[in-house]
A and B are shown apart, each in its own frame.
Chain A
């Protein structure tokens, strides 16, 4: 008999196949179908989102430049004991001179100078000037020749720095991102006072984002309530007004705030004309924190209104009526019955606005002045101007970590499943 005997206790289909197996086979097709449907978006996100994030995070610790370009001297430096206070031996100096000659030919030596300059000021010019003179060094003793080219080569600190930064990964970007640095003895210490900016910026970013989120909630809640309780026809029209900002270019909206708020702007002119303020006491409302707060609150308001509205829309009017028929005055009914039922919307809108605000860039750049810039503006600065991508990566990774931590906290306290985005 060709019939396959199934093991006792295993369910089989009519033709003797184990039931589990044929079920899996039947499900496989739909799984493949689902995967194919998701694949294009997944690839897109992988290439444009996940890989760049990974790349930037990698750059924030990556440190191969020094050991790659100074490939003769760095291995020799490893045998040198930097704690004795003596200069490295002659062979290190010789190797360094050769590295300089090659680096000058390949035009790569300047990059090492730039890299080391992030750690200690003056390194860039040291490398530039040495590169010029090194090609004339023909024979030893190389120690004296190099020190003659620039006396900083006679400083043990210079060599310690090169040795410290010759590892393949470094934490110095992360230290710099929180206003710390390696001291000459390799210990972690605070940056000099005048270079401490990032912690202050992180704190300011978090504080302003919180403030903007709170403002959006205070302004958005009544609007959403109105929208959710009005007859559909009216509320649809008002909804268009709420969404109108989405249809206008961000740049246009931000610059119109400049027109409105600047010292010679519409609002100040109006106030002076009405006589509320004197002409020489015009209020500064833009190119400072106030500008960032006003413009960003305006831009992010719809992100608060939409989740709130969609949650409020699902709350039957009979809840409030029931509460009132049970003897609660309208205020009590609102606070004890309506508001608790909108928590999901408050949470969703709040987290949405907060996360967008924490990484916002254009608006603070245009209207923030110096007191209104956020951390993202410095990330952009390091990406585009100073080209210190390692520091940009470290700042970005810290920002990402903060968002993830807040997200997890939110999940712990409110529960992500309760969030309702629309």
Chain B
């Protein structure tokens, strides 16, 4: 076997077009390590499902190569790929009981009856559905069906498990619970998981690494904390977490930092991904990194802001202010002892560090 770089799954220059006119996936290069939990995150229509289907074998790549465990699988039919899959609507077979659903992959692999029974029971216990083997999927709740689907995708010890928005149909509370359960199953079985979602908090909770998709391109591939704190472009900054966006022109650059002019205000920012002096750049700034009335000399960026709106959220106060001509600037004021009390219409000072303010590429609509 010719394994370079030790990647377990790798997409090499993969392109996909359904109609021969537009590329749904544009030149995808992605290496996934063994035992990794990798999430493809992106808005609807960004090509995540298409990538997953190419990996599972239900769609063929228009160009490029997909390698699994050292062997190219472009021409291996789905049933020989040994990849477990959890579908968004679970795709449990309605005419079989839960136990029969779980036994199905083992039966088609011609395992012995005793083996099958034992594995099915073990899988049911793993997802805490021990006594439910005799029920039909329709007699289970959404959460239980979800667990059966996960168990079925794992029961035959596949090399790789794919999940396409598996929690999309569950309510918020159940979804959060299932996120932890799936994460724990992944950790205990050490199986490689490729997970697809459009929910950024789900991606942040569960993944080792996240590939942010937009428009058929991976915008950034990084661990959750890196993605949140060090977004590389305006799309990622906007898509992951809450983000203040200020658009202006780059007026000066010195090494790691640059100066951006926004409505006559000069803002000091970290130069990350702008197109040089004179170009338009998006500043990205997390709401929790903005201070109200900072002490003198603490922040290089201090501006006047008018309080527009206050929303009480228990642990913090979401405050919308007008700063530098942007009236959608959000500041999170923690509800800690002795925090400032603001009133709408009042003018205060807001400030932030240059390091927290990242100068990125121009916003899509202005490009």
How close is B54's CB to chain A, nearest CB, in angstroms?
13
The stretch from B81-89, B178-186, B283-291 touching chain A is B81-89
The stretch from A132-140, A325-333, A377-385 touching chain B is A325-333
The stretch from A116-124, A145-153, A314-322 touching chain B is A314-322
* Residue A341 CB within 8 A of the other chain: yes
| A318-B87, A324-B79, A325-B57 given; 18 more Cβ-contact pairs under 8 Å | A321-B58, A321-B91, A322-B85, A322-B91, A322-B92, A323-B93, A324-B77, A325-B56, A325-B78, A325-B162, A326-B79, A326-B84, A326-B152, A327-B105, A328-B79, A328-B104, A328-B105, A329-B79
Residues of chain A contacted by B88 (CB below 8 angstroms): 318
**B79 to A325, Cβ gap below 8 A?**
yes
* Residue A340 CB within 8 A of the other chain: yes
* Residue A337 CB within 8 A of the other chain: yes
Residues of chain A contacted by B228 (CB below 8 angstroms): none
Q: Determine which of A316, A336, A343 lies in contact with B91 in the assembled complex, contact meaning CB atoms within 8 Å.
A: A316
- 8 pairs of A and B residues whose beta carbons are closest in the complex: A326-B105, A322-B91, A318-B91, A325-B85, A324-B78, A340-B95, A328-B108, A324-B79
**B85 to A327, Cβ gap below 8 A?**
no
Residues of chain A contacted by B57 (CB below 8 angstroms): 324-325
* Residue B109 CB within 8 A of the other chain: yes
How close is B16's CB to chain A, nearest CB, in angstroms?
17
In the docked arrangement, what's the CA distance between A324 and B57, Å? 10
Residues of chain B contacted by A326 (CB below 8 angstroms): 79, 84, 104-105, 108, 152, 156
Residues of chain B contacted by A341 (CB below 8 angstroms): 93-95
| A 397-414 contacts with B by CB, 8 A | none
User: Which of chain B's residues has its CB closest to A315's CB?
Assistant: B94
Report 19 cross-chain contacts, Cβ distance below 8 Å, ordered by A residue: A316-B91, A322-B91, A322-B93, A324-B79, A325-B83, A326-B104, A326-B108, A326-B156, A327-B79, A327-B156, A329-B108, A330-B77, A332-B108, A333-B79, A336-B104, A340-B95, A341-B93, A341-B94, A341-B95
Known: A326-B108, A328-B108, A329-B79. A319 touches B93 (CB 8 A): yes
Interface residues on A, range: 20 to 34
Q: Is the interface of A mostly helix, strand, loop or mixed?
A: helix
Known: A318-B89, A321-B78, A322-B87. A327 touches B95 (CB 8 A): no
In the docked arrangement, what's the CA distance between A340 and B92, Å? 13
| B 272-298 contacts with A by CB, 8 A | none
Report which residue of B56, B57, B92, B95 has the largest number of chain A beta carbons within 10 angstroms of its beta carbon: B95
How close is B236's CB to chain A, nearest CB, in angstroms?
30
Give the number of chain B interface residues (Cβ < 8 Å).
28
Residues of chain B contacted by A343 (CB below 8 angstroms): 95
Q: Determine which of B80, B104, B156 lies in contact with A323 in the assembled complex, contact meaning CB atoms within 8 Å.
A: B104
How close is A383's CB to chain B, nearest CB, in angstroms?
46
| B 238-261 contacts with A by CB, 8 A | none
Q: Determine which of B84, B85, B109 lies in contact with A321 in the assembled complex, contact meaning CB atoms within 8 Å.
A: B85
Interface string of B43-66 (1 = CB under 8 A from A): 000000000000011100000000
In the docked arrangement, what's the CA distance between A150 and B3, Å? 112
Residues of chain A contacted by B153 (CB below 8 angstroms): 325
User: Which of chain B's residues has its CB closest to A337's CB?
Assistant: B93
User: Which of chain A's residues has its CB closest to B58's CB?
Assistant: A321
Residues of chain A contacted by B83 (CB below 8 angstroms): 325
Interface string of A230-249 (1 = CB under 8 A from B): 00000000000000000000
Residues of chain B contacted by A316 (CB below 8 angstroms): 89, 91
Residues of chain B contacted by A340 (CB below 8 angstroms): 93, 95
| B 210-243 contacts with A by CB, 8 A | none
How close is B58's CB to chain A, nearest CB, in angstroms?
6
In the docked arrangement, what's the CA distance between A98 and B83, Å? 97
User: Which of chain A's residues has its CB closest to B79's CB?
Assistant: A324
How close is B46's CB to chain A, nearest CB, in angstroms?
20
User: Which of chain B's residues has its CB closest to A336's CB?
Assistant: B104
In the docked arrangement, what's the CA distance between A208 and B206, Å? 62
Interface string of B135-169 (1 = CB under 8 A from A): 00000000000000000110010000010000000
In the docked arrangement, what's the CA distance between A325 and B81, Å? 8
In the docked arrangement, what's the CA distance between A26 and B89, Å? 41
How close is A316's CB to chain B, nearest CB, in angstroms?
6
| B 102-146 contacts with A by CB, 8 A | 104-105, 108-109
Q: Determine which of B78, B91, B162 lies in contact with A319 in the assembled complex, contact meaning CB atoms within 8 Å.
A: B91
In the docked arrangement, what's the CA distance between A327 and B108, Å? 6
Known: A327-B105, A332-B108, A340-B95. A321 touches B79 (CB 8 A): no
User: Which of chain B's residues has its CB closest to A326's CB?
Assistant: B105
In the docked arrangement, what's the CA distance between A323 and B109, Å? 12
Known: A330-B79, A341-B95. A325 touches B84 (CB 8 A): yes
Residues of chain B contacted by A327 (CB below 8 angstroms): 79-80, 82, 105, 108-109, 156
Report which residue of A323, A327, A330, A336 has the largest number of chain B beta carbons within 10 angstroms of its beta carbon: A327
User: Which of chain B's residues has its CB closest to A332's CB?
Assistant: B108
Interface string of B297-334 (1 = CB under 8 A from A): 00000000000000000000000000000000000000
How close is A217's CB to chain B, nearest CB, in angstroms?
19
In the docked arrangement, what's the CA distance between A318 and B95, Å? 15
Residues of chain B contacted by A319 (CB below 8 angstroms): 91, 93
Residues of chain B contacted by A330 (CB below 8 angstroms): 77, 79
Residues of chain B contacted by A321 (CB below 8 angstroms): 56, 58, 78, 85, 87, 91
| A 294-350 contacts with B by CB, 8 A | 316, 318-319, 321-330, 332-333, 336-337, 340-341, 343
How close is A371's CB to chain B, nearest CB, in angstroms?
42
In the docked arrangement, what's the CA distance between A318 and B58, Å? 10
Residues of chain A contacted by B56 (CB below 8 angstroms): 321, 325
Residues of chain A contacted by B152 (CB below 8 angstroms): 326
How close is B98's CB to chain A, nearest CB, in angstroms?
14
